[in-house]
Amino acid sequence: MSAPAGGSRRPFAAVLTANTISIAGSSLTLIGVPWFVLQTTGSAGRAGVVAFCATLPVIVAALVGGPVIDRIGRRRVSVTSDLVCALSVGAIPLLHYAGALEFWMLCALMAVSGLVHTPGLTARGVLLPNLAEHAGTTITRAAGLYDAVSRGARMIGAALAGVLIAFFGAETVLLLDAATFGASALLVGAFLRGIPAADPQRGGGAVSLALYRAELGEGWAFLLKSRLLLGVTSMVMLTNGMDQAWGAVLLPVHGRDALGGATAIGLMISLFGGFALLGALLYGAWGDRLPRRLVFAAAFILCGAPRYVVAGLTDTALPLAVTMALSGLGAGVLNPVLTTVIYEHVPEELRSRVAGVTTAGCELTMPLGGLAAGLLVESWGIGTALLLFGGAYLLTTLAPLVFPAWRAMEKPPLSRTEPAPHGSVPADRSRLPSGS
């Protein structure tokens, strides 16, 4: 589809490229930091503490960041976020090389990175409908492509991390991640100039604490009134905590003890990411012909519990590799479905605020996930911890099949014949087909 008159695909392409580079770099840190902690301390508990420190500020940033993103401007927030992340992540290996890195410094630097990283991701994410329109494509096609390149970036970053750690050490991986944040900042800063939705949104009166609280409250009020969005947020909140446990503690410890090291961990994450990319592409091609709720539930069940259970019951790489591939296939379906549903249900002027509170809710258990995994591993062993998390994951992912509110996934809140309330997304733009 060609871009509309006066439009351009370059801003959308720049955001896709920036996200690809940044997410690939974040995959380096996803493997590099836990491995660095295990190498330097040998403690699964300390790996959990670092994960806790990295994710707790994420909740704070997401909780209060929506109105701030709109006031400062989405482009500025994205650029500033990437630059601060580059400095905080890059400082870890530099301090280590200088012999000055203490454990509390590592925790503090990861906390700074967590605090500013989520607003940058949110700022780019809420621009997606505007960039799609600017590029002359639909939201669902843009969402599918956005998720596909993110999955591909995670796959490449994970594979690269495993190899780099094996040959050069975790410190090199963290330096490379710092460079990717800098590249992302340059792309967004250069190519999103002139996009009105990326600039500060000043409407609504002079800046004040009362206005800020009112804008923040609008996001919470909208979330609490939508049973579907509240259900999505609650379920993803629980699974994100368990995924954090998996990525920050369980898989690194299992990889160290049974799979042979960081290269095997990188391979597992790459398989997951590669098949997630395939899942996103397959759903993009045929997903609009399928019932969203049932597909979403089946995909979530497939991508969750099996990898924990297989890892807990076997000490060899091949069964887990096959499971990670199948789990990735299911995971690739999830974000295109959720992105389409959320943009159908949330008015444009509330996207930053609703995105902020939903992100905060979805990430609420992430600090506890890594911390709990570290404590369970040290108390009961890696096998028991994996099986406990797998059982909890399975029970959580049954929610779309049990609770009636999830049936609202099948259609937008407005039909094409119903008038849109003041300030909401027009009906003909909110009823985009799913799955592209």
| CA nearest to 181, candidates 14, 22, 16, 13 | 22
DSSP 420: P
Rounded CA-CA distance 231/388 in Å is 23
What is the DSSP code string of 44-93? HHHHHHHHHHHHHHHHHHHHHHHHHHHHH-HHHHHHHHHHHHHHHHHHHH
pLDDT at position 290, please?
80
Residue 405 token pair:
């509110």
Query: What is the maximum alpha-carbon separation in the chain?
Result: 67
| CA nearest to 299, candidates 397, 382, 380 | 397
Quick: pLDDT tens for 230-264: 888 889 889 989 998 998 889 989 988 888 887 88
User: Which residue type, as a one-letter code, is found at position 17?
Assistant: T
Contact 9, 135 (CB under 8 A): yes
Rounded CA-CA distance 351/337 in Å is 17
Contact 51, 249 (CB under 8 A): yes
Secondary structure (3-state) at 195: coil
Contact 30, 243 (CB under 8 A): no
pTM: 0.67
pLDDT at position 49, please?
85
Residue 241 token pair:
């905590």
How many other CB atoms are found less than 10 A from the CB of residue 40? 14
What is the DSSP code string of 283-294? HHHHGGGS-HHH
| CA nearest to 276, candidates 394, 152, 159, 121 | 152
Rounded CA-CA distance 376/379 in Å is 5
Along the chain (436 residues), what's the average pLDDT of each consecutive run of 10 residues? 55 84 80 82 82 78 65 83 91 90 90 83 77 74 75 77 80 88 88 75 56 70 83 88 90 88 83 84 76 88 94 91 92 82 74 70 80 90 94 93 84 44 30 28
Contact 306, 341 (CB under 8 A): no
Rounded CA-CA distance 405/100 in Å is 53
| CA nearest to 236, candidates 290, 151, 296, 281 | 296
How many other CB atoms are found less than 10 A from the CB of residue 376? 22
| CA nearest to 269, candidates 242, 247, 249, 250 | 247
